[in-house]
Amino acid sequence: MITLRLALRNILGTGIRAWLNAFIISLALVASTWNQGVVAGMDEQAAQAAQALEYGGGQYWQENYDPYDPLTLEEAHAPLPGELQRLVDEGKAAAMLVVQGSIYPQGRMRSILLKGIDPRQRLLDFPTSALAESGAALPALIGSRFAKAVGLRTGDSVTLRWREPGGAFNAQDATIVHVMQTTLASIDSNQVWLPLERLQEMARLPGEATLVTLAPGTPSPEAPPGWTFRDIDYLLRDLRELVKTKSVGRVVFLVIFLSLGMLAIFDTQVLSIFRRRREIGTLVALGFTRGQVIRLFTLEGALHGILAVILGALWGLPLLWLQARLGFAVPAGTEGMGISIGEKIYPAYGAGYVLGIVLLSLAVTTLVSLLPTRRIARLKPTDALRGRTS
C-alpha cells in the first residue's frame, strides 16, 4: 500500500511528463480500438450485405458448381429436385442459373457471367423486379461498378454471347433496363442478370438451375442427391478470411502506437532511475528492501498504463461512440478493398477486444517498466546515497 501510495505521488509529481506518456499510450488504445472497430464494422456490414443480396439463409449448389472455376459452369446445372422446387414455389427459395458468356460493349469483348433469376423473387434485396416490369425483348440488369467499368447505362443495348450445350455459340442483344446501386462486388462485377426462364431458354436448359438460395430463417432440408448445401458460415468464409487479412494492418498499427508509448515509458524509467539514485538510497536507508524499490519503480511505470486507460476513456469513449453512431464516409478509393462497404462505415466495437487491448497495454507497460529496474538490483545503497551509479 505504501509502495502504491508513493508511486502514485511520484508519478503525479512528475506533472506533464506523466500525462504526456499516458496520452501517447491512450492514443494507441483509442486508435487501435477505433481501427479494430472499423474492421469489425466493415466485416459486419459486408456480411449483412452478402446475406441480404446473395446468400440469404444458405445455398444449395449443383454438385459441379465451383464459383472459383468458371470452366465448371458448363456442367454445373441440373433440373431442380422436387423438394427444392417446392421451396421455390412457396417463395422460400430462389433458383439461379449461371452460364458463362461474353458481351461486346463498345465493340470490345468482355467475359462475363450470365445469371438467371426469377424477376418476381422477393428473397434477395436487389431490384430484379426491373426485369419483369420492362417491355424489352431481353431485359438485363447490371450493377453500378460493372456499368461504370464497361460504360453502359440504362437503356443501352449490348450484345450477349453464350455457348449452348452442343458447343455452338449463340448471341442476342439485351437492353439494360436498370443499373443497380450495390456495394456487393459478387453480384456486380462482370455479371449480367437476366430473367431465369429467358436464360434457361437461351442456354437450352429448361427447368434447370445452378444454385438455389434459401430465404433467411428457412429450415434447410437435407440436400437432394447431386446437390450440396452450403450454410451461411461456409459462404461467408472467404469474406471472413479477407477481413482477417485486413486485420494484419490493424496489428501493425497497434504495434507502432504501443511501441511509441512504451519507448516513452522506457525512456522515462531509465531517466527516472538515473536521476533518483539518491532517493533510492534514502528509501533503502529508511528500510525499503531492493525488491520494494523495484516494485515502486515498476508500479510507477505501470501506473502510466492505468492513467492511459483513464485518459483514453475520457477522450476516447465519446469519440468512439460518436463514430459508431454517425459512421464515417468511405473514401472513393476504398472500392478496391475487395470487401462490400456501404457509403458509410459504422465501426463496431467488441467489449472483448477493448478489454484485451487494455490488458495487453497494461501488461506491456508493466514489463517495459520492469526492465530498467534491473539497474536498481545492481545499485549499492551507499553509492545511491551519494548519487552515484554502481
Partner 1 sequence: MSDDNLIRTEKLVKVYPMGASKVTALNRVNLSFRRGEFAGLVGPSGSGKTTFLNIVGSLDTPTSGSAGVLGRKIETLSHREAAALRNRSIGFIFQTFNLLPVYTAYENVEFPLLLLKVPSAQRRQMIMDALDWVGLSDRADSRPSQLSGGESQRVAIARAMVKKPPLLLADEPTANLDAENSHHILRTMEKLNRELGTSFLFATHDEKVIGYLRRKITLVDGRVDHDEPLQPSTGTGA
Residues found near partner 1 in the complex (CB under 8 A): 2, 5-6, 9-10, 12-13, 278-279, 281-290, 292, 380-382, 385
For residues 38 and 173, is the Cβ–Cβ distance under 8 A?
A: no
What span, in angstroms and rounded, lies between the C-alpha atoms of 206 and 116? 12
DSSP conformation letters of 38-64: HHHHHHHHHHHHHIIIIITT-EEEETT
Of 240 and 380, which CB lies nearer to partner 1 in the complex structure?
Answer: 380
Residue number with CB closer to partner 1 (261 or 281): 281
Distance CA 342, CA 339 (A): 10
Beta bridge partners of 214: 93
Minimum distance, C-beta of residue 6 to partner 1, in the bound complex (Å): 7
CA distance 385 to 305: 30
Cβ of residue 387: shortest distance to partner 1, in angstroms? 8
Instruction: Copy the grid coordinates of residue 133.
Output: 416490369
First-last CA distance in the chain: 29
Please identify, using beta-carbon distances, which residue of 288 and 346 lies nearer to partner 1: 288
Query: Smallest distance, Å, CB 8 to partner 1?
Result: 9
Residue among 332, 365, 329 at smallest CA distance from 347:
329
Say which residue the cell 506533472 belongs to. Answer: 15
Nearer to partner 1, 197 or 279 (CB): 279
Nearest-approach distance from CB 12 to partner 1, in angstroms: 8
Give the shortest CB-10-to-partner 1 separation in angstroms. Answer: 5
For partner 1, which is the closer residue by CB, 166 or 287? 287
E strand map for the chain: 59-62, 78-79, 93-103, 110-117, 139-143, 157-163, 169-180, 191-195, 208-209, 211-214, 227-230, 328-329, 344-345
The CB-of-13 to partner 1 minimum distance in angstroms stands at 4
- Strands 78-79, 110-117: parallel, antiparallel or unpaired by DSSP? unpaired
Nearer to partner 1, 200 or 369 (CB): 369
Nearer to partner 1, 134 or 369 (CB): 369
* Residue 175, beta-bridge partner list: 139, 157
Q: Minimal distance in Å, beta carbon 381 to partner 1? A: 5
CB of 271 to partner 1, least distance (A): 15
Q: Which three cell numbers stand for residue 51?
A: 446475406
Q: Are 142 and 192 in contact (CB under 8 A)?
A: yes
The C-alpha cell that represents 59 in the structure block: 445455398
Q: How many CB atoms lie within 10 A of CB 48?
A: 12
Nearer to partner 1, 344 or 380 (CB): 380
What's the burial of 5, exposed, middle or buried (CB within 10 Å: 0-12/13-18/19+)?
exposed
- Measured distance CA(271)–CA(281) in Å, rounded: 16
Query: Which CB, 165 or 291, lies closer to partner 1?
Result: 291
Nearer to partner 1, 347 or 381 (CB): 381
**CA 310 from centroid of its chain's CA atoms:** 28
* Minimum gap (Å) between residue 385 Cβ and partner 1: 7
Nearest-approach distance from CB 50 to partner 1, in angstroms: 58
